[in-house]
Structure 1
Amino acid sequence: MEAYLFLIGLVLIGVIAQNKSLIIAAAFLLIIKAIGLDGRLFPSLQAKGITWGVTLITAAILVPIATGDIGFRELLNSVRGHIGIISFLAGIFVAIIAAHGVGLMKEDPLVTTALLAGTILAVGLFRGVPVGPLIGAGIAALVIGMWDIIVKAISG
């Protein structure tokens, strides 16, 4: 019963925060659970969902290449100025951080819960943009790693 209430609460928070991704995800899980397919689908979704999501996002990012809107010329022109170079480097940095986030989310499901709570709070109260838990988890992994190094250095 708690799971149903939690998911319904997330749908409501999604509506209040105008977060379509949260609404769709929570409603989808609620429906799957309500029709009794959770035992079959949830394990696969939990084990492979992040990979499926990253694949779908990657495909969406590659659509302009597939349609011919972005070619080699546009790619080369995009990194000629300082804004393009900074954006290029930021893309590399974010992708590396997100990779660490995937590992952290897989090893500790509570990370996802905390990230979701933080994202909901930021979207609802601070007009934040829900950029996704991978980046948040990656940043968390980076900070946790730095924290561990500092604690080890202090404790000797």
Structure 2
Amino acid sequence: MSRKDDNSDKPRRSAYDKALGLLARREHSRRELGQKLRQGGYGGEEAGDALDRLGAQHYQDDDRFGEVLVRSRAAQGYGPVRLRAELKSHGLPDARIRQLLEEAGVDWAESAAAQLRRRYGAKAPADPAEKARRAQFLLRRGFPAATVRGLTHAEVDELADESD
């Protein structure tokens, strides 16, 4: 008998068990877990009940998720604009996002400078096109336009950064 045949005889895991398994691997936001459960074919009420139970047991916590995500992404060299957008996509409220970014204790200008050194070395840009490339690199990583302008001395469009 094939492995697939064996699995078809198993009872389906509950939404709670499925979500708990996902949380055992890494932190998830409530929104993210809900989406994964719906994609797995679990109904809205069953998924909601499972998420409520996990929250009550402190297995799922959006605050803890946000702290882990900010710490991880900041260590990877991403800036606050990108972090804000990612946290917002996970359903965290704006006030909590601001608080998480403030509490992170990251010197965003130093982080941006470190990303420039890592990517381009200590050599100064040769021409305006190179300055623009470096500025775009930092903007894609999610650093504010003012920070990028200060580091690269490139003309950066204010619309590139909605948080300034």
Give the TM-score category using the shorter length. under 0.3
Q: Indicate the structure (1 or 2) with the bigger Cα radius of gyration.
A: 2
Whose helix proportion is higher, 1 or 2? 1
Q: Give the structure-1-normalised TM-score.
A: 0.25
Q: Give the structure-2-normalised TM-score.
A: 0.24
